[in-house]
Structure 1
Amino acid sequence: MPFVNADFKDDLPNCVDIVDIINRRVPLKKVGKDYKACCPFHHEKTPSFSVSVEKQMYKCFGCDEGGGVINFVMKFDNLGLVEAIETISGELGISVVYDENVKSVDSRLARYRNLMQRVRQFYIQQLKQSPAKDKAVNYAKNRGISGKIAKYFELGFAPPSSNLLSEFEQNDQNIADLKTMGLLCDDQYRSGQYYDFFKDRLMFPIHNAKGNIIAFGGRTFDNNTKVKYLNSPETPIFSKSKELYGLYHARKYSRSIDYILVVEGYMDVIALHQVGISQVVATLGTATTIEHLNILSRVTNTIIFCFDGDNAGKKAAWRALNVTLPVIKTGITVKFLFLPDGEDPDSLVKKESSKVFVTRIENAQPLSQFLFSHIKAELDFSTIEGKTLFLEKVSTLLRKINYKIYQQQLLEGLAGEVNQSIEQIKYILERQDTPVQINTFDIPKNYEEPPISDFYDSDDNYKALISAPIKSSNSLIDQMIGLLLNYPSMIDETVELRVRKINDADVLQNLANSALLQEDITLEDIIKPFPQKQQLLDLYNKKKVLKNYDYKDEFLDALLKIEKKQKNENALLITNEIEYTKSLQARKGKLKS
């Protein structure tokens, strides 16, 4: 996004009349020297919203909102700073002055966006005119999509044949750009030939925050098809981990965004919009990312994740929670809404009224409640052992939180759950990482140990027996790190749990945790938190294989070797402890005699 020249931004309010800009959005009535209206930012019957011509400011004496013309447009139109400045300037015919010191935007990006608009129009026309359109029309009707909502979301149709190619094949630049946008693919059987990426699907344009179309999604009509939903691949103007379907519509058509509901699919967004619930977005075939959370936190103060109530839904919710903890910040509230098993927003809102669904949203679980209840469900909380494990698991998550006030509140909640004081919980957490020295029995203070040579052939043999050093597994751990960086998707909950039990493997354990929490994580993102990035890259390159390779098989083989080694070493330590205990008992007996 370009940067606006600072002088232009500061001078813009002097070039416009705030009354004119606001009156285009909220009908104002002159009262004395000022203008008044019912506040657009909260519900009221008696006008308390005032606009001052003299000060060029607005103020609501009911909800305390106030500011200048740019601030009003940002809040009313749900726009960012640059977007608001461009909107005001556009309405008044003023040319925006951008910062010349900032690198200009690549001209190809504007060309790509213009082409995507033409593709959108092509798909819309196909939904109206294609000989094969009936299957798309019937599918939309069967799913309860009205003509009005189809137009609202600019739905289209990709015909069964390569019609998109036929539409644009006369222009070589268009063909090249369509390939870059992932809408045309090379035909592997015919050199120099292409075919449409989307065929025989209901098409959903994907907008960015400004309303530009940056990608498409397509839904097949055959429920037996393996890939029901298909998204455009990553392109110079589209990254699925940074975009949210429906965000543009939520910002444009929701006057006040007091919450955003995050659902899982296009149809969920459309179905909820159709019944008047417009504050809803969907991720684009990926788990919630940090980028998603940063975007949402700039739009609203309350983020509500909505999932099916089955195991898959709760697993997805747990991943969202883990991604959220490190980035949650002041003023942001995160909640979780679980629907009945087998239901999604699209199906449920058709069975119950929108009022009932809104009640579900209002009763969504706070993050803290979901965190505690989810962990409790995995263990027997009625036992001391269960509560101990509960304490360990929650405390591990608390360490991820950077928002200290929230961390303290969760700490107090944890203390209440296990019926202990805050001081006790803090003491436990502080000592959790401290190695515990275990003695099999207490040695009397006045006991003098006899010479070692009385019991063993040499001091060296005795020292070897009681110390039994654990051999380093660094080479195996380094091998596993390199494999994981190449193929992070191999980490599932079972593998991550096994990795967590490896001794002296903090880096490997943190990498495995990141891979588990964020699907399709990139190499750049997974190594980002570590200061030793170059070392990690070296391990990555050392294990990188250009051809198809079974990284997981080698990883599990190395993991098994470490587990066996630790098991043998633990057995040896136990044997040594027993032998040492016997030796001390023998010494005691010898001294007594």
Structure 2
Amino acid sequence: MSLPPGFIDELRDRVSLAQVIGRKLTWDRKSNAARGDYWAPCPFHQEKSASFHVDDARGYYYCFGCHAKGDVVTFLRETENLGFMEAVERLAGIAGMTMPARDPEAAKRAEKRNGLVEAMEAAVQFYRMNLHGARAIEARSYLDRRGLTAGTQTRFDLGYAPDSRTALIEHLKGKGFAVEKIVEAGLAGVPREGGAPYDRFRGRIMFPIRDAQGRAIAFGARALGPGQEPKYLNSPETPLFDKGRGLYNIGPARAAAGKAGTILVVEGYMDVIALAQAGFENAVAPLGTAITETQLRTFWRMTPEPLVMLDGDAAGLRAGQRLIDLALPLLGGGQSLRFVILPPGQDPDDVLRDGGAAAMTALIGASRPLLDLLWSRETEGAVLDSPERRAALDARLRAHLGRIADPGLRAHYEAEIRTRRAELFAPRRDGAAAGRRTGGTRKAAPPRRGRAPAGGPVASTRASLLARGEAAIAEARVRESAILYGCLNHPEIALAQEERLGRADFHCADLAEIRDALLSALLSILNGESRAESVATLVARRLGRDVLADLDCLGQVRANPHLRADADPEKAALAVEEELIRQAALTGWLAETRDAAAGLSRDTVDWIGPRLRRAAEAAHEAGIRPLAGENADLGIEREEFASTLASVEEQQRAHRNRKRKS
């Protein structure tokens, strides 16, 4: 929605910045109200001194500590997690200004909504009044048993719907509301066979549901009698209420999320209220449905990593898995989910009653990332003792990861899955099959004939292999730096090689970080978010340092003329592609070498020879040699590697001779 020229300026003129901020802060005594000069401790970072300054005449604030700055719209957006138009609408209400309507039809709809909101607010007051009446003894007793204080009940506007067919209808009619509007607001129903409308909620505890602006838009109602069904009843969908979009406690939780740094997503109203009473004011709950994509995006507008609380039973974990399936295609850098697993059979209220806020804080601190639950779903309790079963696991994991749209994030997931898979399938020293989940213990098996003796020549061979691996890591740093240097100087190459960059195994953590920032920068440009800035500038801003200057310090990289910014684009593309190919081959060599080195301490000699040959082939394919312009040889010493291979092959021949003689 576009605003007419001058609307924002008039809004700033009408609303006092000091008045808006003063609702949230206590001004320091050095403030001078007559001059419009105000000071206070900053609301954006923890401090005791008053370094937050407000110039009310100019409508501008600035913190000399954390450098937060802005106007009244910015302040409202930052402190209450509002979107721009939401902040403008809120301020327009304070200023007594009417938001411009999109069109006449929109104006009619807005007027209609306002009328329905008025009916809903009148119903809130009616239910609140009845909670303190003689007919609400059972309702008050239930709330007392749940430990809700009078202050909490007032804060959440809890009420009681009397067990009467038309009590609310008659009350609202007396307030001037037409029956048609009462029905349209979802407060009354009409019999299918026709007849007089009736109160939708009767004999129930009432929970008002409000939108982000604090307007009552619906109700949730809990049954009290043993025969009442369903136990929880929500308002039907109305012009005000969409179950798939709304969230219980969205307004207060959004405001609290700024300080808490996240939000808690729980199952129901009582969970939210119990948490708020214990000091966790940043909780929301969906409204009788599974979490929708719209609600998920709402979470992410409030915080990059919402915490989803799950019951520890099978049903709760299944709900978490369904949410993971919904979230995977939407994940991005800095946009994910974490899960808080409650003890089996307990809800948040039980945890708080048994252990207090400290127990809940401990559970939140032990939250698990999304990948943990995804991995658990595919591996816990699984018997993966055959190639076919392992291949099926790989296929399922690939399918999950293939749904992640962000290439940089997908690459990180793939790397983590590879690590976990390697640990899962690593041969165990107790002789148990990899991937098989078995209990109990085993006696150590006696050494089999043909197994290399511990402490013999094989141990020195293994050490030699590991030393070669360290040299290859140094080689990897040069190659990975060259790839990044070329891509940053020629972003079109990075775009063309995006898929390979995302899947490449970067062995140096600092360079992998640059690679991920590079992919994220490309995505920002493709989405039209940062077209005015270069890729190198975006990467530097994300990482807080000049990465091109860092890479330029490496002599082997700087000396390659085809990687520089002024190089011919075609030659630069060929140079980067060549380094990507060699880097992939080097990755294969490292993997084969590590496996062979590890195998020398546990496997038969027969198995090692082929692995070393494959390692040698991978090294040859990688063409391990210095980059152009450098004389230092960072590659492996082929003569020593050949000697290692010959030594192992000699052991193989001796082993076969012993077998023939026996």
TM-score, scaled relative to structure 2: 0.59
Closer/same/farther in 2, CA of residues 9 and 381 from structure 1, 3 Å limit: farther
Gapped regions of structure 2 (runs ≥ 5): 424-662
2:178 alignment partner, SS class: helix
* 2:327 counterpart residue number: 324
* 1:27 counterpart residue number: 26
1:234-249 alignment runs, 5 A limit: 234-249=237-252
* 1:112 counterpart residue number: 116
1:43 alignment partner, SS class: coil
Structure 2 letter corresponding to 1:182: G
Report the alpha carbon displacement of residue 61 of structure 1 after superposing the two structures with TM.
4.7
Structure 2 letter corresponding to 1:114: E
Structure 1: distance between partners of 2:255 and 2:412 = 35
- Are residue 347 (structure 1) and residue 346 (structure 2) matched? no
* 1:270 counterpart residue number: 273
Structure 2 letter corresponding to 1:98: P
Structure 1 letter corresponding to 2:247: L
Q: Do the aligned residues in 2 keep the contact of 1:257 with 1:299 (CA within 8 Å)?
A: no
* 1:216 counterpart residue number: 219
Structure 2 letter corresponding to 1:376: T
* 1:132 counterpart residue number: 135
- Pick one of 95, 98, 103 that aligns with 2:97: 95
Structural RMSD (CA): 2.7
Per-residue deviation, residues 460-512 of structure 1 (Å, max 9, x unmatched)? xxxxxxxxxxxxxxxxxxxxxxxxxxxxxxxxxxxxxxxxxxxxxxxxxxxxx
Structure 2 letter corresponding to 1:295: T
Structure 1 letter corresponding to 2:91: I
Structure 1: distance between partners of 2:14 and 2:175 = 44
Closer/same/farther in 2, CA of residues 177 and 14 from structure 1, 3 Å limit: closer
Greater CA deviation, 94-103 or 401-410? 94-103
- Are residue 177 (structure 1) and residue 181 (structure 2) matched? yes
Per-residue deviation, residues 70-92 of structure 1 (Å, max 9, x unmatched)? 1012222333323322443444x
Report the alpha carbon displacement of residue 183 of structure 1 after superposing the two structures with TM.
2.2
Report the alpha carbon displacement of residue 265 of structure 1 after superposing the two structures with TM.
0.7
Structure 2: distance between partners of 1:322 and 1:37 = 46
Q: Do the aligned residues in 2 keep the contact of 1:4 with 1:99 (CA within 8 Å)?
A: no
Per-residue deviation, residues 288-325 of structure 1 (Å, max 9, x unmatched)? 10010111111222211111011100100001111111
Structure 2: distance between partners of 1:20 and 1:168 = 36
Closer/same/farther in 2, CA of residues 318 and 182 from structure 1, 3 Å limit: same
- Are residue 379 (structure 1) and residue 382 (structure 2) matched? yes
Closer/same/farther in 2, CA of residues 171 and 205 from structure 1, 3 Å limit: closer
Structure 1: distance between partners of 2:7 and 2:355 = 51
Structure 2: distance between partners of 1:24 and 1:248 = 17
Structure 2 letter corresponding to 1:166: E
Structure 1: distance between partners of 2:215 and 2:108 = 15
Report the alpha carbon displacement of residue 266 of structure 1 after superposing the two structures with TM.
0.6
Report the alpha carbon displacement of residue 13 of structure 1 after superposing the two structures with TM.
3.5
2:264 alignment partner, SS class: strand
Structure 2: distance between partners of 1:174 and 1:46 = 56
2:337 alignment partner, SS class: strand
Closer/same/farther in 2, CA of residues 55 and 184 from structure 1, 3 Å limit: closer
Q: Do the aligned residues in 2 keep the contact of 1:3 with 1:82 (CA within 8 Å)?
A: no
Per-residue deviation, residues 384-419 of structure 1 (Å, max 9, x unmatched)? 444322221121111221222221111111111222
Report the alpha carbon displacement of residue 35 of structure 1 after superposing the two structures with TM.
4.5
- Are residue 389 (structure 1) and residue 392 (structure 2) matched? yes
1:157 alignment partner, SS class: strand
1:189-588 alignment runs, 5 A limit: 191-222=194-225, 225-252=228-255, 256-377=259-380, 379-381=382-384, 384-419=387-422
Structure 1: distance between partners of 2:321 and 2:3 = 40
- Pick one of 60, 65, 72 that aligns with 1:57: 60
Structure 2 letter corresponding to 1:8: F
2:107 alignment partner, SS class: coil
* 1:575 counterpart residue number: none
Per-residue deviation, residues 303-354 of structure 1 (Å, max 9, x unmatched)? 1111101110010000111111112234323101111110111222111111
Report the alpha carbon displacement of residue 37 of structure 1 after superposing the two structures with TM.
2.6
Q: Do the aligned residues in 2 keep the contact of 1:8 with 1:97 (CA within 8 Å)?
A: no
Q: Do the aligned residues in 2 keep the contact of 1:306 with 1:337 (CA within 8 Å)?
A: yes
Report the alpha carbon displacement of residue 380 of structure 1 after superposing the two structures with TM.
2.1
Closer/same/farther in 2, CA of residues 109 and 414 from structure 1, 3 Å limit: same
Give 1 or 2 for the bigger CA radius of gyration. 2
Q: Do the aligned residues in 2 keep the contact of 1:3 with 1:99 (CA within 8 Å)?
A: no
Structure 2: distance between partners of 1:171 and 1:50 = 47
Structure 2: distance between partners of 1:406 and 1:182 = 44
Closer/same/farther in 2, CA of residues 380 and 48 from structure 1, 3 Å limit: farther
Gapped regions of structure 1 (runs ≥ 5): 421-593
Report the alpha carbon displacement of residue 368 of structure 1 after superposing the two structures with TM.
1.3
Greater CA deviation, 179-188 or 308-317? 179-188
Percent of aligned positions that are identical: 32
Per-residue deviation, residues 202-253 of structure 1 (Å, max 9, x unmatched)? 0000001111111101101135644211101111110111000011222355
Q: Do the aligned residues in 2 keep the contact of 1:8 with 1:96 (CA within 8 Å)?
A: no
Q: Do the aligned residues in 1 keep the contact of 2:17 with 2:72 (CA within 8 Å)?
A: yes
Per-residue deviation, residues 108-167 of structure 1 (Å, max 9, x unmatched)? 2111111011111111111122x3210111111111111110100000101111221332
Report the alpha carbon displacement of residue 68 of structure 1 after superposing the two structures with TM.
2.1
Q: How many residues align?
A: 416
1:242 alignment partner, SS class: coil
Closer/same/farther in 2, CA of residues 215 and 20 from structure 1, 3 Å limit: closer
Structure 1: distance between partners of 2:190 and 2:218 = 19
* 1:557 counterpart residue number: none
Closer/same/farther in 2, CA of residues 169 and 393 from structure 1, 3 Å limit: same
* 1:528 counterpart residue number: none
Report the alpha carbon displacement of residue 168 of structure 1 after superposing the two structures with TM.
3.4
Q: Do the aligned residues in 1 keep the contact of 2:257 with 2:303 (CA within 8 Å)?
A: no
Per-residue deviation, residues 348-395 of structure 1 (Å, max 9, x unmatched)? 211111122022112210111221122111522465444322221121
Structure 1: distance between partners of 2:207 and 2:260 = 24
Structure 1: distance between partners of 2:186 and 2:56 = 51
Structure 1: distance between partners of 2:23 and 2:292 = 37
Structure 1: distance between partners of 2:227 and 2:371 = 39
Structure 1: distance between partners of 2:173 and 2:410 = 58
Closer/same/farther in 2, CA of residues 415 and 272 from structure 1, 3 Å limit: same
- Pick one of 154, 172, 187 that aligns with 2:191: 187
Structure 2 letter corresponding to 1:274: Q
Closer/same/farther in 2, CA of residues 155 and 294 from structure 1, 3 Å limit: same
Report the alpha carbon displacement of residue 269 of structure 1 after superposing the two structures with TM.
0.4
Structure 1: distance between partners of 2:92 and 2:177 = 33
Structure 2 letter corresponding to 1:209: A
Structure 2: distance between partners of 1:344 and 1:97 = 43
Structure 1: distance between partners of 2:397 and 2:108 = 46
Structure 2 letter corresponding to 1:128: H
Structure 2: distance between partners of 1:172 and 1:192 = 22
Structure 2: distance between partners of 1:151 and 1:46 = 35
Structure 1: distance between partners of 2:14 and 2:183 = 44
Structure 2: distance between partners of 1:257 and 1:11 = 34
Q: Do the aligned residues in 1 keep the contact of 2:351 with 2:359 (CA within 8 Å)?
A: no
Structure 2: distance between partners of 1:155 and 1:359 = 30
Report the alpha carbon displacement of residue 52 of structure 1 after superposing the two structures with TM.
4.9
Structure 2: distance between partners of 1:376 and 1:289 = 27
